[in-house]
Amino acid sequence: MRKGRKTKLEAAGWVVGSVKEFLGLSEAEAVLIEVKLALSRSLRERGNKQGLSQVQLAERLQSSQSRVAKMEAGDPSVSMDLLVSALLLLGASSTDLANAIRGGTAPPPRAHQSAHRRRSDDFRVRLR
């Protein structure tokens, strides 16, 4: 959130914090949510790059369109196993999965990771 917007909200009496703080999540829970959302985004992007509709993707995965919609949205009823399996069926490699979790296509810079690449100021996930 931009600093000016945060300042305005706080001045108006709002409490500004992270989802982690609001829900009382542990570090591990927060990271798991970020990983699941990253896999969901990757599935949606990979399907779009291959020109697949949700119906076509569902056919490939032997599932339903509504299930694919839930997968792409990171619905709580969708397991990470299912997301990983779907990505592998669409041709993702283990490197692709690691990059999806990392949040990009290249490894993050070692010394400094810019603020626009982070999902939250509360935590960062570092994969080796």
List all residues 6 or more positions away from 98 whose beta carbon is below 8 Å from its beta carbon: 127
pLDDT tens, 74-107?
999 999 999 999 999 999 999 999 999 987 544 4
And the tokens for 19? 């989802």
Mean pLDDT for 56-61 is 94
Nearest-angstrom CA–CA distance, 73 and 118: 20
In the chain the domains, ranked by start, together with CATH numbers, are 26-103 (1.10.260.40)
Residue 122, pLDDT score:
41
In DSSP notation, 40-108 reads HHHHHHHHHHTT--HHHHHHHHTS-HHHHHHHHHT-TTS-HHHHHHHHHHTT--HHHHHHHHHTSSSPP
User: What torsion, rounded to 10 degrees, do the Cα atoms 102, 19, 31, 100 define?
Assistant: -20
User: What span, in angstroms and rounded, lies between the C-alpha atoms of 107 and 117?
Assistant: 11
CA distance 79 to 77: 6
Has this prediction a pTM greater than 0.75? no
| Two tokens, residue 36 | 């699941």
Determine the pLDDT at residue 2: 79
